[in-house]
């Protein structure tokens, strides 16, 4: 799969240390090598979204939007589990999924 990263994802990823940084690197390798979303570890589709998924990385959640036409994973957010499902992130993910941003 092809990968793209948002600025906020890159910024959050650069702040990770230790086991979280290693885990994120392994997840990125796994996503790149995978042929389908179903084969990814700890990956779930979000309810009420058509192409938005999350991957669990310890206490963090990586949210991405799958663009089916060109088989591209667009990593949007990497946030702590406690902040992962707040309304602001949900609103922004919905806009990005619909192509309004």
pLDDT of the chain along its 101 residues, tens only?
Answer: 889 999 999 999 999 988 999 999 999 999 999 888 888 888 899 888 888 999 998 889 999 988 877 888 899 999 998 888 788 888 888 888 887 55
Beta-carbon-side half-sphere exposure of residue 35 (alpha carbons within 13 Å): 0
Query: Given the structure tokens 């290693």, which residue do they identify?
Result: 22
Contact by Cβ (8 Å): 9, 65? no
Domains and CATH numbers, the chain: 2-97 (3.30.2310.20)
Q: What is the pLDDT of residue 100?
A: 55
* Alpha-carbon radius of gyration of the chain: 13
Distance CA 64, CA 49 (A): 11
61: tokens are 């959640």
Q: What is the pLDDT of residue 19?
A: 92
3-class state of residue 58 by DSSP:
coil
């Amino acid at each position: 799969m092809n990968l793209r990263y948002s600025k906020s994802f890159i910024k959050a990823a650069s702040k990770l240390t230790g086991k979280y940084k290693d885990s994120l690197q392994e997840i990125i390798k796994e996503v790149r090598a995978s042929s389908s979303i179903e084969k990814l570890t700890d990956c779930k589709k979000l309810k009420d979204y058509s192409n938005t998924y999350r991957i669990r990385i310890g206490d963090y959640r990586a949210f991405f939007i799958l663009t089916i036409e060109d088989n591209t994973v667009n990593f949007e957010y990497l946030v702590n589990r406690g902040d992962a499902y707040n309304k602001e992130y949900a609103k922004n993910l919905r806009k990005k999924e619909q192509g309004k941003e």
